[in-house]
Chain A
Amino acid sequence: MSTQEAKHTPLEYQTTHGQMNILGFWIFLAAEVVLFSTLFATYAVLFGRTADSPLPSELFGAEIVLIMTFLLLTSSFTCGIAIHNMRQGQVKPLIIWMVITLLLGLGFLGFEIYEFMHYTHEGATLQSSAFWSSFYVLAGTHGLHVTLGIGWATLLIIQIVKRGLTPVTSQKVFIISLYWHFLDVIWIFIFTAVYLIGMVV
């Protein structure tokens, strides 16, 4: 590593503690991949076992799912912009972009809740069939992660406002950005494997 590169090492990587925390978070993300894989496997195995409840192709709507996907994709992008600003040491743009990210995340959650309520009214509930149970558990676990992420990021924004950018706070913000992008990765697979395939088959 040349001195030029040492000078540009982002704050979050400057302490061994920060590096270890980021490493640990990647291990957590790998475990999350496996957690979601069990839910995807359950969904795939139970696909079509709808008993007397409506078929997924009758309920899934392309518009709402595309809106949710674009909300989450855009929030992932704005979160990336926030980290870009953080690495330039700009606190205010960082906070603004993080708030936009959270608003988009809240929009996503709102649409997901609306969608679940709509399905419930149409007679597809958690109890109505094996297929719908696995659907709600898979999509719901992702929604729960988004909810947790919003709460977590809100607390971090407060911390940034109070303490500014230090190696500790920037490492925490970097980690939540990894978490947020990761939720988008999981959603891409839900969008494809659940909604698109559900509408095709």
Chain B
Amino acid sequence: MASSTKRIPTQHIIGYVLSIVLTLVAAWVALKSNLPTLWIIVGILLLAVIQAGIQLIMFMHMVEFESNNGHIPWNMMFHGFVAAAIVVAGSLFTMVYGF
């Protein structure tokens, strides 16, 4: 694959800069902006998901040719995160909202 023979790890640098920026944006939104609390929570959780995606794709070589173009890692992570979302949302639904 072309990226593994490059001298400068462009993809890693882009991923690193993006994650720093996203972290700072999330911190700013949470601590300095005057948005309503619900908007802040939804917004920063969305930023976290984007940043996790950057880690997986830019750093963890998820979509490279050797891992069947990421077929298996993608499956694993997708189903892992779906199960995680069900556990967290389901627990909140039953325990907090009283069903």
Chains A and B bind each other: yes
Q: CB-CB < 8 A to B26: which residues of A?
A: 191-192, 196
Residue from A30, A66, A181, A200 within 8 A of B79 (CB atoms): A30
In the complex, A112 Cα to B77 Cα: how many Å? 27
Answer whether A62 and B77 are a contact pair too, CB < 8 Å, given A44-B92, A45-B96, A178-B60.
no
Q: CB-CB < 8 A to B72: which residues of A?
A: 23, 26
Docked complex: B58-96 residues within 8 A CB-CB of A: 58-61, 65-67, 72-73, 76-77, 79-81, 83-85, 87-88, 90-92, 95-96
Chain B interface secondary structure, helix, strand, loop or mixed? Answer: helix
Chain A interface secondary structure, helix, strand, loop or mixed? Answer: helix
Q: Are A31 and B12 in contact (CB under 8 A)?
A: no
Report the count of interface residues on A (CB-CB < 8 A). 55
What is B's interface to A at a CB cutoff of 8 Å? Answer: 1, 4-5, 7, 9, 12, 15-16, 19-20, 23, 26-27, 30-31, 37, 40-41, 44-45, 47-48, 51-52, 55-56, 58-61, 65-67, 72-73, 76-77, 79-81, 83-85, 87-88, 90-92, 95-96
